[in-house]
Amino acid sequence: MSASVALARVLVAGGTHGNEWVGAWLARKWERDPSSLQRPSFESVALLANPPAVERGVRYLDQDLNRSFDDPTPGLGSAWEVLRARAILDAFGPEGRTPADVVLDMHTTTANMGLCLIVTNREPFNLQMAAWVRRREPRLRVYAWIDDTLPKSALSTIVPRGATLEVGPTANNVVRGDLLLATERVIGLCLDFVEAFNRGDLATRQPEALDVFVHQRSFDYPRDRAGEVTGFIHPRLQDADFELLNPGDPIFQLLNGETMVYEGESPVYPVFVNEAAYYEKSIAFSVALRETVWV
């Protein structure tokens, strides 16, 4: 990493999902008064990403905004979130009027993910930011969801430098104070990192090891022939995000009382266990492998 690239603008977004209120409340607070986001070497801009969804307390109006950033030229009649994504790109995208160099997007989850930074590429800046923040906030976990075949449809992927912060567990449509304060703290540390990067403070750093949970695949709920869900996350897997899941461990309990077990060949780390928004995506939980990387 070199300090030859000075980063001029950081976008801090929340309310990308309108029922995730911790990020939405912070984004609205910082839109009104962004002073606590400022650092000497760059400008921070706060953005309430999907205001009408926040207003109505729903995840989205027409489609998931955080899967809408890959449509370059929306047509007449496009979904609201496609138009909104285009407007955000026109402002903060690489070709935008006020392009962002870094994008931080604040989310919550109903899963017991704790404090989790999600990166979607192996950009050294992102992993170094994660390691730097983690040294100051040891509860932080790093989840890498890297699939170069996927379109860059998430808000944090509109530029190469960026990350999504997930905090949980929490219900939607509430603000948990502990998670709001933790989000505020992690975002502040990310901004401190950008400042250190710009100042060249990191040029002399030694490589350090970072544990990264690398996404492997997702599991759907058990279903009957008509597609209806017939079971729920087994109580032993519920809340067990980032705890080793071994072959033979229970993963689902059917409504008829039967238990289904994990039939993989080797242990994995479950993540996003019982996230409310993923029922419609047919994801009961995902699994990751732990990889130690030098950053």
**Contact mark string toward a copy of itself, 217..236, x via CB under 8 A:** ---------------xxxx-
**Contact mark string toward a copy of itself, 6..45, x via CB under 8 A:** -------------------x---x----------------
- Among positions 253-272, residues that touch a copy of itself (CB under 8 A) are 253, 255
Minimum distance of a copy of itself from residue 80's CB (angstroms): 18
Closest CB to a copy of itself among 59 and 161? 59
3-state secondary structure of 23: helix
Q: Pick from 244, 16, 212, 13: which is nearest to 119 by CA?
A: 212
Minimum distance of a copy of itself from residue 79's CB (angstroms): 18
Binder to a copy of itself among 44, 110, 156, 183 (CB under 8 A)?
110
Closest CB to a copy of itself among 212 and 240? 240
The C-alpha atoms of residue 259 and residue 256 are separated, in whole angstroms, by 9
Q: Output DSSP code: residue 35.
A: G
3-state secondary structure of 233: strand
Residue 52 in the binding site for a copy of itself (CB under 8 A): no
Closest CB to a copy of itself among 145 and 278? 278
Candidate ranges 91-99, 121-129, 167-175, 240-248; the one touching a copy of itself (CB under 8 A): 167-175
Query: For the chain, what is the largest distance between any 2 Cα atoms, rounded to a whole number of angstroms?
Result: 62
Binder to a copy of itself among 67, 176, 199, 290 (CB under 8 A)?
176
C-beta separation of 258 from 175 below 8 A: no
Structure-block tokens of residue 152: 């860059």
Query: Could you tell me which residues come within 8 angstroms of residue 28 by beta carbon, excluding any fewer than 6 positions away?
Result: 14, 15, 48, 54
Residue 63 in the binding site for a copy of itself (CB under 8 A): no
Cite the beta strand spans of the chain per DSSP E: 9-14, 43-48, 102-108, 114-119, 140-144, 162-168, 209-219, 231-233, 250-254, 259-261, 269-271, 285-294
Residues near a copy of itself (CB under 8 A) are 25, 29, 110, 169-178, 180-181, 232-235, 238, 253, 255, 274-277, 279
